[in-house]
Amino acid sequence: MRIRVGHEMTIETPQDTPLISLTTPEAARHRDYVLPEDFRTTPSVPVQSYVDRFGNICRRLVAPAGTFTLFSDITLNDPGTRDETNFNAAEWPIEALPPEVLGFLTASRYVETDLVSDEAWQLFGHISPGWNRVQYIVDHVNGSLVFDYKLASQFRTAASARSDRVAVCRDFAHLTLAYLRALNIPARYVNGYVGDIGVPPVPAPMDFAAWIEVFLGGKWWTFDPRNNDRRIGRVVVARGLDAADVPLINTFGPHTLTGFKVWCHPVDDRGNELDGMLFA
């Protein structure tokens, strides 16, 4: 199948403002592009790309004072399969973990493992280790938080989401990460595109999505605490310890977001949008 993904973000800045954008899909998906990414800025400015410590593709530029727009549009091939599962995937002891995985056991800005550690062991310590325990934790978080886009807060952490009981997708991810890391299970934050493919459409405007990846049985596996479902057509953009590592745009100066549009939907060979339920 083919999926079209993209975004258009417009900001207002009072002065020339350096910024970094993390919105292009991971390098592993570039071979799936039907055509090169249509990326442009309005007004047009020089753009420098680099790779950060997590392997994410970052774009560095200076937004001129006034109205500035970032635009990206990509059509890519996708196998059309749901997120993989392996119910036999096991937790590995810390001494057996690869060195590059160990960093995903630590606390971070939005993931306060120390504040939820006792609760994590009380709630989940008795569950048989492995895939089933991870899914049990995802089920718990999905059922304990209420999604409310209007109550999104850049200051909400895992611990405050637990007490507030309201969340957007990143809060679901942060609380799940906190529980997992408290149990010595490596887990990382992911953002990207997830469209209504194979599921009934949601009437709300689309946004970038957040989910997690958990290290079990020697590889990373996708779990989605917000949707709690194996989805079709997930497109990874960036990974990190938490949302602080993967902001869509990070400006070095004040800005106001005045326009925001995101799309992710299946298309035919001519680029015409298809009904996502055709793939259910």
3-7, 25-29, 200-204, range with the lowest pLDDT: 200-204
pTM exceeding 0.75: yes
Question: How many CA atoms lie less than 13 Å away from 121 in the CB half-sphere?
Answer: 8
Residue of 108, 78, 61 lying closest to 193 (CA atoms): 78
Residue 212: alpha-carbon gap to chain centroid? 7
Is a pLDDT exceeding 90 seen at residue 12?
A: yes
First to last CA, the chain: 13
Residue 259: alpha-carbon gap to chain centroid? 21
Residue of 177, 248, 160 lying closest to 212 (CA atoms): 177
List domains and CATH numbers for the chain. Answer: 2-80+247-279 (2.60.40.2250), 94-245 (3.10.620.30)
pLDDT at 258: 98
Give DSSP secondary structure letters for 61-84.
EEEPSEEEEEEEEEEEE---PBPP
Strand, coil or helix: 182: helix
* pLDDT (tens digit per residue) in 185-234: 999 999 999 999 999 998 889 999 999 999 999 999 999 999 999 999 99
pLDDT at 199: 96
